[in-house]
């Protein structure tokens, strides 16, 4: 399974939505990349940095490592991006 950059971004968003990492709840970048195949794990940290710059994710410093969480004000945009890229409807969010 080889994903392009936009699909990886959507997978990151989907994983974080399933974990309900909106607002005050955050997750480390290492935990995000653990859900990807080994050949894609090296790409995830740079893609997460790109997503922070684009405003999809918000940074949170915890114990000296980078944690991120979803911007609650972009919930509908996040759901639309996941549905468009991955054809997955996150109706419970």
Collapsed DSSP state (helix, strand, coil) of residue 30:
helix
pLDDT of residue 2: 73
Q: What is the DSSP string of 32-79?
A: HHTTS-TTTTTTHHHHHHHHHHHTSEEEEEETTEEEEEE-GGGHHHHH
Q: Which domains does the chain have, with CATH numbers?
A: 5-83 (1.10.10.10)
Task: Give tens-digit pLDDT for 42-85.
Answer: 999 999 999 999 999 999 987 788 899 999 999 999 999 888 88
pTM value is: 0.88
Enumerate the β-bridge partners of residue 57: 70
Phi, psi at 2, each rounded to 5°: -115, 120
Tokens 């890229």 belong to which residue? 85
pLDDT digit string, tens, across residues 5-41: 999 999 999 999 988 998 878 999 999 988 889 999 9
Q: Tell me what pLDDT residue 34 has.
A: 87
């Amino acid at each position: 399974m080889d994903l392009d950059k936009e699909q990886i971004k959507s997978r990151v968003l989907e994983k974080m939505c399933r974990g309900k990492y909106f607002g005050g709840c955050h997750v480390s970048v290492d935990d995000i990349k653990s859900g990807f195949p080994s050949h894609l794990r090296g790409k995830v940290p740079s893609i997460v940095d790109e997503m922070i710059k684009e405003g999809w994710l918000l940074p949170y410093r915890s114990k000296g490592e980078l944690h991120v969480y979803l911007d609650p004000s972009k919930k509908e945009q996040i759901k639309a991006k996941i549905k468009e890229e991955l054809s997955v409807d996150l109706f419970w969010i």
